Structure 1
Amino acid sequence: MEGKNDPVDLKAKKIAVAVIIIFHLVGLAGFLCGPLRPYFIQLVPFHLLLMFGVIVFSYRGPLNRLMLFVSGVFVSGFLVEVLGVYTGNIFGSYYYGRTLGLKVFAVPLLMGVNWVILIFSVAQMIRALGIRHSILASLLGAVLLTVLDFFLEPVAMALDFWHWNWSTVPLQNFIAWFVVSLILLKFCYATDLKQQKYVGATMFLAQLAFFAILRFALA
């Protein structure tokens, strides 16, 4: 349940949803305005940390499960990125730019945070649709995250998130995104987080709209 009879819980959800929508709209406007874009690029790390903070702020379930989820996805997602950068055998041959901030082993620490945000948001949205079978939910979530990556890739290169050593994004990247997302989503459902349907759905749909619009605007 969403804790709909708890006024404090409901207020936290409303604040979280409002913050997600407002900051994505402001960010979108900033990136679409050429003169402002360099300044908004500098704010990307703060935006990711804010979205992570929104998840923690609005969550009202057992904190030990949330911490297990966050630590598991953060470490796994970060290590996959490290292996991907150093070997070129997972996503393809790529390297990170400077936009995402501090790097460890050539990978921004915020990539771990990004995986947490992505997995949490899509997992919660799918649960809100009433899909309870974890394998089916994980498969659907992996498809949705791969679709998100389709819109994300050109934007990531344009904004110096990361760059490919080819002229186009390799098919291998999308296959790897699907597989990694599938595994992390299965882990997420195994932690049995409390349902946060409004926050999760808003977070995922805001990101999808954000990158879809920018993909065509920056093309």
Structure 2
Amino acid sequence: MISKSNLNKAALFIALLFHICGLIGILLTPYKEWFISITPIHLLLMAALLIATHRKKSKQFFLFFLITCTAGFLIEAAGVSTAAVFGKYMYGETLGLQLFNVPLIIGINWFIIIYCAGMFTQAYENYMLQRLSKGGFLVSKQLQAASFIIDAVFLTVMFDWVMEPVAVKLGYWQWQNNHIPLFNYISWIIISALLLALFRKLNAGSRNIFAVHLFIIQLLFFLVLRTFL
């Protein structure tokens, strides 16, 4: 049976391989459209790796997974049909099979972003609490919770800000008049705060170093594409 350490190393290798190959394929080869077209497979693989590397596969974790995927899809469906959630936008065909004009894979994407941001923040929080504890400082549970939500929401919205222009260029979705409204980011703040509060309430997190690495890898992936695409 593969050890957790080796599983994390294997997951990190696969994630790096896929993202580096994706960058090369999109930026430097004539097969750009093919690399873009396998985005749904890529997202499914990354989600599978996150689930595989999650240490405590409890009912709470799978409940968080189900709620986040479902809520993400339904929010996007409401957003596309009413333009009242994020602004006026529509999905292209790049992300695959659709229901209510929304790709089914989009719920998985919400899970990946929220889960990785939550894990990243939790890892940082644990590190800081240990440092403060050694210095004799105690932080209340309320302050810990507030700090977690604020930090994780910042990471989530920052990730969306980096991703948005790239997603448009890759044909994931299009905004009316090619303008990304400020309202989009305000909605991301509210929705991600609620989902991250659920992440903490259900205690869905357990130490998952791969999730931290994947957040950094994906952020760098979109930063490179945003710079050179």
Give the alignment's TM-score, normalised by structure 1. 0.92
> What amino acid sits opposite 2:31 in the alignment?
L
Unaligned runs of 5+ in 1: 1-5
Question: Is the 1:146–1:178 contact (alpha carbons within 8 Å) kept by the matching residues of 2?
Answer: yes
Work out which of the residue numbers 68, 83, 89 in structure 2 matches 1:88: 83
Deviation at 1:31, TM superposition (A): 1.3
Question: Is the 2:79–2:87 contact (alpha carbons within 8 Å) kept by the matching residues of 1?
Answer: yes
Asked if 1:66 corresponds to 2:77, the answer is no
Work out which of the residue numbers 169, 190, 207 in structure 2 matches 1:179: 190
| Residue in 2 that maps onto 1:160 | 171
SS in 1 for 2:31: helix
Work out which of the residue numbers 7, 12, 16 in structure 1 matches 2:7: 12
SS in 2 for 1:130: helix
Question: Is the 1:128–1:195 contact (alpha carbons within 8 Å) kept by the matching residues of 2?
Answer: no
**Post-superposition CA distance 1:58-83 (Å, at most 9, x none):** 12203312211110101111111011
Question: Is the 1:90–1:176 contact (alpha carbons within 8 Å) kept by the matching residues of 2?
Answer: yes
Deviation at 1:103, TM superposition (A): 0.6
Deviation at 1:195, TM superposition (A): 2.0
Cα distance in 2 between the residues matched to 1:95 and 1:7? 43
Cα distance in 1 between the residues matched to 2:183 and 2:177? 12
**Post-superposition CA distance 1:162-202 (Å, at most 9, x none):** 00012321111111111111111111111212423411111
| Residue in 2 that maps onto 1:116 | 111
Question: Is the 1:21–1:202 contact (alpha carbons within 8 Å) kept by the matching residues of 2?
Answer: no
Report % sequence identity. 33
| Residue in 2 that maps onto 1:126 | 121
Work out which of the residue numbers 101, 107, 112 in structure 1 matches 2:102: 107
| Residue in 2 that maps onto 1:142 | 153
> What amino acid sits opposite 1:15 in the alignment?
A
Asked if 1:98 corresponds to 2:107, the answer is no
Question: Is the 1:17–1:198 contact (alpha carbons within 8 Å) kept by the matching residues of 2?
Answer: no
Q: Which moved more, 1:24-33 or 1:131-140?
A: 131-140
Give the alignment's TM-score, normalised by structure 2. 0.88
Question: Is the 1:127–1:197 contact (alpha carbons within 8 Å) kept by the matching residues of 2?
Answer: no
| Residue in 2 that maps onto 1:206 | 217
Question: Is the 2:61–2:203 contact (alpha carbons within 8 Å) kept by the matching residues of 1?
Answer: no
Work out which of the residue numbers 34, 48, 51 in structure 2 matches 1:39: 34
> What amino acid sits opposite 1:123 in the alignment?
G
Cα distance in 1 between the residues matched to 2:29 and 2:174? 21
Cα distance in 2 between the residues matched to 1:50 and 1:7? 18
Cα distance in 2 between the residues matched to 1:22 and 1:178? 31
Q: Which runs of 4+ in 1 moved over 6 A?
A: none
Q: Which moved more, 1:150-159 or 1:58-67?
A: 58-67
Cα distance in 2 between the residues matched to 1:103 and 1:167? 22
Work out which of the residue numbers 44, 52, 56 in structure 2 matches 1:57: 52
Question: Is the 1:138–1:185 contact (alpha carbons within 8 Å) kept by the matching residues of 2?
Answer: yes
SS in 1 for 2:3: helix
Question: Is the 2:69–2:111 contact (alpha carbons within 8 Å) kept by the matching residues of 1?
Answer: yes
